[in-house]
Structure 1
Amino acid sequence: MIVKIALSARALLRRAVWGRNRDRIRATWRILFGFGVVLGVLLGGRRLLGRVDFPDVLVNGPVALLVCVAVGAYALAASLIPGERPIREYGFSFDRRWALDALAAVVAGCVFQALVTGMLLASGSGRVVETFAPGAASGGGPVAVAIAVAATAVAFAAIGLWEEPLFRGVFIVNASEGLAARGLEPRRAVWAAVGASALAFGPAHALVAAQGASPLFAAVQATAAAVYFAVAYVFTGSLAFPVGLHFATNVWVVSVFGQAGSGFPALVRLERSVGAGPIDLLSLVIPSLVLLGLIVAWVLATRGQVSTDESLRDAIERRRGSAAAE
């Protein structure tokens, strides 16, 4: 009896981890594995970095090194998981098209944030309190300011390079495969995964609302961001556009129209007071719709059509209705 119970428990455990396909663990575990490795390295490394006295002028620059270690650790660990794809297959190609997508995304992100900032100023929800603010580089002269600006840019590029591969690449692709394995049509599986990724990414930002923003506004803003990041990823099949967007939007709200009292250098300091009223939400919705239009226009100009990327769709099609029920 005890042996039978042990065998049954072992079979249930195997089923919970592997499903019916012994060549690949379930989509849920592939997603959690990616987040566990990267976040584990980032959180553990941050504690170690906290013991090192870096010059203030570096702002969050050292975080970039930590991100490289975290993403590298995931790439190495993923290579040891049976059936797991290399991290480059989530949308890292680093060719000419990738570079052009990233550059176009930076431009689109700046246009988007310029519209948001303009509407905040016009509605009175934003007020300029300082210009040419050196932040942590105060008193250090032009060289210190240049170092602080460079460190800021590198840090925010690093943030995009871990959040986008996880929330857009690993999450959407694996969730789509899991849904397709249960028989859902590939395009529907992709967009269902997009919705799930937005719910995972957006509401959590209510806990880390930026200065001057209500938790509800922060959650809505992050959810909207998750949607346009995901749309860019699904239509291009590449992480270039979402990474570029992420970089541009972060740098804008920190170093172009930065927050009052921030240690980051900024061209302008903007005191924000945004809640969840109609005007506040319009200042987010209208620019987001413009941004979605820019994404669609770029995809149409560079791909010739606007649809789920073929490589992404094909990868999911191979899992549709398979025995690998996730």
Structure 2
Amino acid sequence: MIHALRSTLWNAVDGKARVPWLILVPLVGAYGCLILVSEAAILLEMPLPLAQLLISGAPVVAALGLLRLSSHFLGDPRTLADYDVMVNAGWLRELLMGLGIGAVGVAIPYLIGLATGVLRVSATMDGGDLPLGLGVLLVVAAMLCTGFWEELLLRGVFISNARDGLRRWLSPSRALIGGLTISSLVFGLAHLGQPEIPAFILTWILAGVVFGLIYLFSGNLALGIGAHAAFNITANTVFVRTDISGTEHFSALTRITVESDASILGVGGAVEASGFLLVLALGLLWIRLSTGVITLQGLPLSHPPRALAQE
């Protein structure tokens, strides 16, 4: 019994915890920390932008701490550098380019909606609960934190480790696609409460696919972190929808009202979905221009699977 339990937790051949635990420990820990801080922020009745920063920043600390513990207690040989968390000129360049891609990807659907009259600017330079500059700064910092920890765990940690496990049965490219698929489903389910129309959860699954493909084709996290953060920043400070509960507390450069009754324009509908697709197109264009090729990158394996090592 004890041996069976141990075998479900530990891979004696590779000398590390089994793949699901390498993924679940930091991921569940980060989301658990997010939930606890969210509840504390509600009890303390904090201004929403400040609460958002704390809610988004706490999982960063949890994720980094749990990944550190994973290397000691779960046998994960990867370092943060292996997950492409580093600070150098190249990494910062990709981060900044990602920020630009995310901002443009969000802005184009909103600008088209405003030009066609299906969207309307209902307010400008509205500070919400705080002075405009401070409110925007807090949300920008919060969204940078969210982009960082979600990309680190749901793309870097999840796809890399899932690929390791799937390579026992699948080819390297199919294992990558399998890891991308599973991580995208998890990412979508984590946003289950956001869309009012249940079918629009597909938009958040699409977002997982988009950021996952950017990661796999670029071979680094920085581009996806930037694109993810900028998407959230732009949607929560520049074009703030009035039909999303709670956004009236955020500082907004413009507040956007939907003028059409078409359900496709609901939260998570055409505006957000087209934005994610534009982010993917712009991301792939940048990867093609900067590398000269668009191909799946070989992310570092922690250990070759036993069957592969024997070939």
- TM-score of the two chains, using structure 2 as the length reference: 0.86
2:9 maps to what in 1?
17
User: Any residues of structure 2 matched to 1:1-326 within 5 Å, and which?
Assistant: 9-21=1-13, 23-52=15-44, 54=46, 58=50, 60-84=52-76, 85-121=78-114, 125-137=118-130, 144-180=131-167, 182-209=168-195, 214-217=197-200, 219-260=201-242, 262-272=248-258, 275-276=263-264, 283=271, 286-310=274-298, 312=299, 314-315=300-301, 318-319=304-305, 321-322=307-308
Offset, 1:264:
0.8
- C-alpha change, 1:20 and 1:208, in structure 2 (3 Å) is same
- C-alpha change, 1:249 and 1:65, in structure 2 (3 Å) is closer
Offset, 1:86:
2.3
Offset, 1:64:
4.9
1:248-282 CA-partner distances (Å, limit 9, x unpaired): 111111110112252111111012466348xx965
- C-alpha change, 1:316 and 1:231, in structure 2 (3 Å) is farther
- Structure 1's unaligned 5+ residue stretches are 1-8, 138-143
- C-alpha change, 1:262 and 1:215, in structure 2 (3 Å) is farther
Task: Tell me the number of residue pairs that the alignment of Structure 1 and Structure 2 aligns.
Answer: 302
Q: SS of the counterpart of 1:90?
A: coil
- C-alpha change, 1:31 and 1:68, in structure 2 (3 Å) is closer
Offset, 1:178:
0.5
Offset, 1:285:
5.2
Using the alignment, how far apart are the partners of 1:289 and 1:50 within structure 2? 34
1:20–1:323 CA contact under 8 A, matched in 2 = no
Larger radius of gyration: 1
- Structure 2's unaligned 5+ residue stretches are none
Q: SS of the counterpart of 2:296?
A: coil
Offset, 1:65:
4.3
Q: SS of the counterpart of 1:207?
A: coil
- C-alpha change, 1:28 and 1:135, in structure 2 (3 Å) is same
1:216–1:275 CA contact under 8 A, matched in 2 = no
Using the alignment, how far apart are the partners of 1:146 and 1:319 within structure 2? 52
Offset, 1:243:
1.0
- TM-score of the two chains, using structure 1 as the length reference: 0.82
Using the alignment, how far apart are the partners of 2:20 and 2:262 within structure 1? 36
Using the alignment, how far apart are the partners of 2:179 and 2:275 within structure 1? 24
Please tell me the residue identity of whatever aligns with 2:140: A
Matched residues, percent identical? 28
Using the alignment, how far apart are the partners of 1:173 and 1:199 within structure 2? 16
Offset, 1:49:
4.3
2:49–2:139 CA contact under 8 A, matched in 1 = no
Offset, 1:230:
0.4
For the aligned residue pairs, the C-alpha RMSD in angstroms reads 2.8
Q: Once structures 1 and 2 are overlaid, which stretch shifts more, 298-307 or 64-73?
A: 64-73
- C-alpha change, 1:125 and 1:255, in structure 2 (3 Å) is same
Offset, 1:321:
3.2
